């Protein structure tokens, strides 16, 4: 269920550079660049402050957001740890006259490193599955069904069926990374995503006594109201 490599559409175009080339750019050069390397040091786990390393050196990344247009995924939700391989795009800048950095970069591609396995768990390998309001996923299904609002265009066209979503229960119990695996109609798909995203926190999955991420594939059933 859990992909070990995640690709995102590029938020902007940039010229591919090594870390050494990036660090040697002119002070006045604010061109868009693309960097590819391994996370070598994490300085801040809330805003996305870290160092990216390749065979030529390290580059300082200050602030990283999801590369998908309109996405609101935060840096903690990206679950980036040391050893992960990233491709990022952003502008070369100088902070305070001395610090060379890429500020406000966008994540284009991510592949989990060897240290990532401890924080990412496949479904079925946990000791305790997530709980919704103290119950199992069936209780969540009932909660979702009670909050669905049938879109007017789908009702008028007499369209119903099942939307399959995929989402993650994070280590803090929050519902994250909701996406449509199999849709029916854009308005029905959007309504399913809206309700699932509005979920209150769950009790997270437990592995070896610690909370871990857990991936669900979840059906949202639409039946045309009478």
Q: Confidence class of residue 13 from pLDDT cuts 50, 70 and 90?
A: low
**Cα distances (Å, whole numbers) of residue 121 to 11, 81, 125, 154:** 28, 14, 7, 37
- In this prediction, residues 197-209 reach a mean pLDDT of 92
E-only strand ranges, the chain: 5-7, 15-16, 32-44, 49-54, 57-66, 85-95, 99-111, 161-169, 175-182, 205-207, 210-212, 214-222
Structure tokens at 220: 């949202």
pLDDT digits (tens, 9 = 90+) for 34-64: 999 888 888 765 678 899 998 899 999 998 8
Give residue-wise pLDDT tens across range 118-146: 443 444 578 888 999 988 777 888 899 89
Q: Is 188 helix (H, G, I), strand (E, B) or coil?
A: helix
Please write the tens of the pLDDT for every residue from 105-124.
888 887 766 554 444 344 45
The answer to whether the pTM exceeds 0.85 is no
Residue from 177, 195, 186 nearest 66 by CA? 177
In sequence order, what are the residues at sequence separation of 6 or more whose Cβ sits closer than 8 angstroms to the Cβ of residue 86? Answer: 36, 37, 38, 39, 52, 80, 107, 109, 110, 111
In the numeric block, the tokens 């050069």 are attached to 29
Distances, alpha carbon 79 to alpha carbons 36, 60, 65, 68, 133, in Å:
18, 19, 12, 16, 25
Residue 105's pLDDT is 86
Q: What is the DSSP letter of 131?
A: B
Place of tokens 């103290």: 134
Mean pLDDT, residues 161-170 taken together: 88
What are the tens digits of pLDDT across the range 55-108? Answer: 899 999 998 887 655 556 677 777 787 778 888 999 999 988 889 999 888 888
> What domains can you pick out in the chain, each with its CATH number?
5-111 (2.40.50.200), 137-222 (3.30.1150)
């Amino acid at each position: 269920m859990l992909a070990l490599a995640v690709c995102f559409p590029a938020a902007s175009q940039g010229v591919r550079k090594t870390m050494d080339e990036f660090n040697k750019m002119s002070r006045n050069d604010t061109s868009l660049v693309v960097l590819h390397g391994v996370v070598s040091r994490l300085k801040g786990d809330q805003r996305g402050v870290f160092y990216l390393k390749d065979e030529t050196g390290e580059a300082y990344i200050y602030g990283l957001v999801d590369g998908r247009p309109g996405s609101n995924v935060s840096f903690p939700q990206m679950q980036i740890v040391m050893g992960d391989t990233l491709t990022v795009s952003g502008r070369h800048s100088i902070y305070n006259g001395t610090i060379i950095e890429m500020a406000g970069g966008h994540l284009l591609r991510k592949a989990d490193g060897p240290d990532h396995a401890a924080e990412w768990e496949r479904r079925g390998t946990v000791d305790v599955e997530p709980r919704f309001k103290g119950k199992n996923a069936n209780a969540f299904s009932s909660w979702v069904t009670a909050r669905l609002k049938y879109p007017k265009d789908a009702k008028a066209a007499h369209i119903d069926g099942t939307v399959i979503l995929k989402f993650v229960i994070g280590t803090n119990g929050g519902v994250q990374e909701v996406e449509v695996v199999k849709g029916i109609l854009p308005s029905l798909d959007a309504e399913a995503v809206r309700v699932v995203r509005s979920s209150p926190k769950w009790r997270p999955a437990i592995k070896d006594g610690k909370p871990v991420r857990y991936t669900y594939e979840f059906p949202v059933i639409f039946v045309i109201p009478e």
